[in-house]
């Protein structure tokens, strides 16, 4: 029990630490709490194009700060989340979105698991059917029966 | 025989898909720009060497130009500068510079010391023009055709090789076609 508690404490401390550094990179406070929530969500799901594995919210580079300024100003101007994402993707491509969009170009990627599952189901259905037919038509006596 | 045909076919199909993926994979670290084949972004920015004047993208229409994003803080830009001077001497296509988030005085010094290959340099103090062009790291160079369409983008220092293999052929092919 003691071990469990220390693990929980460590995780909580780490989370607190991470939250602390995120605030250190981006101290932006929007006047409207609802806008602030959307601002944080958007800056966390847009990629910093320079560091590439960090979000805009986490990155200390200047380009990330410039792009955060764009997010802030567009939200204050009344743009929707989708409009902000589209604006970013028009300049930097879908690569800037950590959550990929559905499009005809990547439809095969989204569809592939379903197609593979269908192929697997078809193959297993055929195997089961063949075995059923085999079982029904195979009336040769078993080795043990002949001996007996 | 027949029972091997299906797995073999599936294997060959997979091999072809993966081979295409490998051959078409972009250069490591270079992100394809959605602006390729699209109109170059509009801008109106102060000119570095004529602070009272504005450089407008509309003035550039009707001819080829190379749009080069740079800054004195960028070491790779220093490395490509000799190539830019060669491009200027070739006289094939004018160079338009975008001085990205830089100190104007330092930028002017830089060009006085190393030579100025640009026909004009626009000053992007806020970084908004660079974002409109989808710039994520200087230097970046865009080739824009007379219709104002971006036909080629190079990320990183411009080299003799990119100039002779990627940029020149595009301009001369268009000239031969018209």
Segment A67-101, tens digit of pLDDT: 999 999 999 999 999 999 999 999 999 899 998 88
pLDDT reported for residue A31: 87
Q: Which DSSP category does A96 fall into?
A: G
Q: Using 50, 70 and 90 to split pLDDT, how confident is the model at A51?
A: confident
Contact between B31 and A50 using a beta-carbon 8 Å cutoff: no
Nearest one of B37, B12, B14, B44 to B148, comparing CA atoms: B37
> Chain A to chain B, count of Cβ pairs less than 8 Å apart?
37
pLDDT reported for residue A1: 46
> Could you give the angle at which helices B75-90 and B104-114 cross, rounded to 10 degrees?
50
Joined tokens for residue A70:
């764009």
Contact between B31 and A67 using a beta-carbon 8 Å cutoff: no
Q: Which residues of chain B have pLDDT under 50?
A: none
Residue holding tokens 């590439």? A52
Chain B residue whose CA is closest to A116: B10
Distance between CA atoms of residues B143 and A133, nearest Å = 68
pLDDT reported for residue A15: 59
Interface of A with B (CB under 8 A): 49-50, 62-63, 66-67, 70, 89-93, 95
Bridge partners, B68 (sequence order):
B97, B141
* More confidently predicted of A146 and B3: B3
Joined tokens for residue A2:
């003691």
Q: What is the mean pLDDT of residues A102-110?
A: 83
Alpha-carbon distances, residue A144 vs A140, A141, A147, A148, B24 (angstroms) = 12, 8, 5, 6, 62
Identify which of B101, B131, B134 has the shortest CB distance to residue A70.
Answer: B131
Distance between CA atoms of residues A39 and B112, nearest Å = 43
Identify whether the C-beta of residue A36 lies closer than 8 Å to the C-beta of residue A29: yes
Contact status of B61 with chain A (Cβ, < 8 Å): no
Which domains occur in chain B, in start order? 33-177 (3.40.30.10)
A13, pLDDT greater than 70: no
Bridge partners, B100 (sequence order):
B124
Distance between CA atoms of residues A105 and A121, nearest Å = 27
Contact between B32 and A92 using a beta-carbon 8 Å cutoff: no
Chain A nearest C-alpha distance from B34 (Å): 5
Residues of chain A contacting B32 with CB distance shorter than 8 Å: 93
ipTM of the complex as predicted: 0.84
Neighbouring residues of A72: CB distance < 8 A, sequence distance ≥ 6: A28, A30, A39
């Amino acid at each position: 029990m003691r071990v469990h508690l220390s693990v929980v404490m460590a995780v909580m401390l780490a989370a607190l630490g991470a939250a602390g550094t995120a605030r250190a990179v981006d101290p932006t406070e929007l006047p409207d709490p609802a806008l602030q929530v959307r601002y944080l969500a958007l800056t966390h799901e847009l990629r910093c194009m320079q560091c590439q594995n960090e979000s805009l919210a986490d990155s200390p580079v200047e380009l990330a700060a410039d792009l955060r300024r764009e997010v802030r100003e567009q939200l204050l101007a009344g743009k929707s989340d989708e409009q902000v994402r589209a604006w970013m993707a028009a300049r930097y491509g879908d690569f800037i979105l950590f959550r990929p969009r559905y499009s005809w170009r990547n439809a095969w990627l989204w569809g592939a698991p379903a197609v593979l599952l269908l192929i697997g189901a078809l193959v297993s259905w055929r195997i089961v059917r063949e075995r059923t037919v085999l079982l029904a038509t195979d009336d040769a006596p078993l080795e043990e029966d002949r001996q007996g | 025989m027949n029972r091997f045909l299906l797995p073999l076919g599936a294997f060959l199909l997979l091999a072809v898909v993966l081979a295409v993926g490998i051959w078409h994979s972009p250069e490591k670290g270079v992100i394809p720009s959605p602006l390729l084949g699209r109109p170059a972004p509009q801008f109106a920015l102060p000119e570095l060497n004529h602070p009272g004047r504005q450089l407008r993208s509309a003035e550039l229409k009707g001819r080829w130009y190379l749009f080069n994003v740079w800054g004195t803080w960028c070491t790779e830009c220093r490395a490509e500068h000799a190539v830019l001077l060669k491009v200027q001497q070739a006289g094939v296509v004018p160079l338009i510079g975008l001085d990205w988030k830089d100190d104007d005085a330092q930028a002017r010094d830089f060009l006085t010391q190393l030579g100025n290959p640009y026909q004009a340099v626009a000053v992007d103090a806020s970084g908004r023009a660079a974002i409109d062009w989808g710039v994520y790291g200087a230097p970046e160079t865009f080739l824009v055709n007379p219709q104002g369409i971006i036909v080629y983008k190079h990320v990183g220092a411009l080299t003799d090789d990119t100039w002779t293999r990627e940029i020149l052929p595009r301009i001369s092919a268009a000239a031969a076609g018209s």
